[in-house]
Amino acid sequence: MEFTAKTIAEFLKGTVIGNPDEKVSDVAPIENGKPGTLAFLANPKYAKHIYTTNASIVLIGKDFKPDKEIKSTLVQVEDAYKAFASLLDLYQSMIPKKTGIDSRASISSTASVGENCYIGDFAYIGENSKIGSNVQIYPQVYIGDNVIVDDNTILYPGVKIYLNCKLGKNCIIHSGTVIGSDGFGFAPADGSYKKIPQIGNVVIEDDVEIGSNCSIDRATMGSTTIKKGVKLDNLVQIAHNVEIGESTVMAAQVGIAGSTKIGANCLFGGQVGVAGHLSICNEVKVGAQAGIGKNVKIDGTALWGSPAFEYSKVTRSIAAYKALPDLVTRINQLEREIKDLKNEK
């Protein structure tokens, strides 16, 4: 599919600077742009590439002011990053979706499947499960008994959903993720550990996206809950009875221990660890590799470090830590001077 600069500008309500008939049929990062590709400039640190890129069209924000000639045609928009995302949405929507049930899929006679679904080879759907309309179930997906998968949800190859779990509308679950595996519950008994049955489930609300190879454990009782609009990166671990609030985002390798409640609109960097049975309020921002071991009670708190504490204090502590070698040198010098003064007496 080809698009002209004029067509792109009309769709994005932008302005063409250059040739309105310039055409693109692919996208590329601005630093690797080639003829026939569309790139975008949103981060100022990539601004230098706009003067050397071979991309035919580049999206720019309204605040960008070039300081020399640019050979690419530009489309100026309000927000280049959001505009580029809108174009990708448009492109993806034009790709035909798979439909139909492959002959080697296994679907229980008591399961129900909605309209316009795709179910790939070697997918399995268990007893009394309900699949909504326009659901995409790729090959080798396992869906256990009494599972609900609502409309427009996509399950990529190798996703496993254990019994009694519920997935909302418009969710995307990437390959290798397991939803509803047993929570890590064991009771000490005579020098060994007795397994505590995990009889709850996982409830995932609408518009949730979960990356590849994540584990979301079922509750011991009740539900582990991932609320509307949550986005989880690859390799995230969510333990039993955890609740993740609406529109919270977690980067790769985050681990949340059992029964912790996370508020709405939180941002967790990569490899953040959160201890169990804690409560973290709304709009909390946590830097990468932080370890949270106590409740966070103030909305909008920014944390970093392990154990985590306020970001502003962490940065001051790091600055002091970096100065320690100089401080040691100065203290040693002062001690020598004091010793010399004492010897002079």
Round to whole Å and give the CA distance between 138 and 119.
Answer: 6
Catalytic choice (49, 174, 240, 277): 240
Round to whole Å and give the CA distance between 277 and 41.
Answer: 43
Handedness of CA 146, 147, 150, 152 (dihedral sign): negative
Distances (CA, A) of 327 to 316, 318, 322: 15, 14, 10
For 174, what's the count of Cα atoms within 13 Å in the CB-facing half-sphere? 12
Round to whole Å and give the CA distance between 246 and 226.
Answer: 8
Nearest to 307 by CA among 319, 295, 316, 297: 295
Q: Are 79 and 59 in contact (CB under 8 A)?
A: no
Q: Does the annotation mark 240 as catalytic?
A: yes
The catalytic residue positions are: 240
